[in-house]
Amino acid sequence: GTPTAKYSKDHFVIIDAIGVEQSQKTDSRPLEKAPGVSMKDVLTSVAMGNTSEDMLTTLANRLLRLDKQLSEKDKQKFVEQSGGLSITHIVKQLLHAYDPDVLDNLKNDVKEQMMGMQPIEIENTIEKKKQELIENAVAVFHNPDLRDFIIDIRKQYDQIIDVVNIDTITKEGWVNDHVESAYTAISDFKSWINQHKDEITALQIFYAQDYRNRSLTYKMIRDLYELLLVERPALRLNVLWDAFATEEDHDAEGKLIKRMPRTEKPKQELVLLVSLLRKAMGTDEWLTAYDKTVDRNFQEWVFKKQAGTLKFTEQQMQWLRMMKDYVASSFSIEKEDFDLSPFNAEGGLSKMWVLFGEDTDRIIEELNEALAA
């Protein structure tokens, strides 16, 4: 230690360590994700609704460092300002909001409690619980007095290194070309698809587009999503959607290309993945949310069916719409799915047989094929 040091060290810098240049050294879970953003801006960003993993882990890191510097008296003042919460308690909540182990336990608890429910309902509940973790973690920062206290107390412990040689901006702009980054992400995604196209059933179905004989299932897409997360964690679905959008916009520059307005990005991860797969593999010419594709295909199917003498009753249409909505989130429908909501509350497969009779199997088969087209 340094006897004359006024404050405790909050981090260390290793310079010219022997052998370090031979291999990359990284933290298992680095917390500082926004080193160039001030504490004030981080707090304001979180209070304004930026609850991304990068922002919350950065805030946790800043608070941990501050906690090491504060005197016991100042720590007690923090607790008073926060309504009884210590810095370490708040940091724990911030880190838990995106901790993989915490989220895995949350998912397992929800699946156990909702056994027998529709997969999309389970997914929505899991997402809701995740959001509650985040909201609980950041709730304390909606207090402007606490934010001001953190900023003021931080200033008291800041050590200014250089007040003479002020840095100046020599160049502004993107570190990497935005369009080039988009094309790189798309290329990586297509390469990963090509790598697994012969071994993963879901990709085989996409390539063959043989929806009459084989339907995509929720489990197929879920397994594919989890494999992508493991093998290509950098290929985040939101980033890929933006990359494809950038590609389309860039390719259309200066050209007379007419297209429908782009649909909103799907909020459900698996629906987003299917949308990206359809675009990457050429099923969709334009980037389109899969649930919107299902809506369009459903309208066309109903129109063709009723163009002749067949006319669906209002009750039959109600069931067909329920089936369409189910396929939009679960990718196909089978007889056993009628034991799940919303069908079970309306009479299940028995009611389907009452409404459609001997056409039941054909209706299910046709919908699976038509909606996935």
Question: Do 329 and 229 fall within a single domain?
Answer: no
What CA–CA distance (Å, rounded) separates 194 from 291?
25
For the entire predicted model, the pTM comes to: 0.56
Question: Do 237 and 309 fall within a single domain?
Answer: no
How many angstroms separate the Cα of 261 from the Cα of each of 196, 257, 288? Answer: 32, 12, 10
150 within a domain of the structure (yes/no): yes
Per-residue b/e over 60-73, b at no fewer than 16 CB within 10 Å?
bbbbbbbbebbeee
Specify whether the CB–CB gap between 301 and 371 falls below 8 A.
yes
Question: Do 204 and 270 fall within a single domain?
Answer: yes
CA atoms in the 13 A half-sphere facing the CB of 112: 6
- What are the tens digits of pLDDT across the range 339-356? 998 999 899 999 999 999
Question: Do 94 and 56 fall within a single domain?
Answer: yes
Question: Do 147 and 41 fall within a single domain?
Answer: yes
Domain span at 263: 178-288
Tell me: pLDDT of 159 over 60. Answer: no
CA atoms in the 13 A half-sphere facing the CB of 50: 13
Amino acid at 177: D
- What are the tens digits of pLDDT across the range 207-259? 877 666 678 899 999 999 989 988 888 888 999 999 999 988 888 776 666 66
Question: Do 250 and 325 fall within a single domain?
Answer: no
Tell me: pLDDT of 362 over 90. Answer: yes
Domain's final residue, options 240, 270, 288: 288
Domain's final residue, options 288, 322, 352: 288
Question: Do 72 and 144 fall within a single domain?
Answer: yes
Question: Do 282 and 304 fall within a single domain?
Answer: no
Count of domains in the chain?
3
Mean pLDDT of the chain: 84
pLDDT of residue 361: 93
CB proximity list for 351: less than 8 A, separation 6 or greater: 319, 343
Question: Do 272 and 313 fall within a single domain?
Answer: no
Domain's final residue, options 157, 190, 208: 157
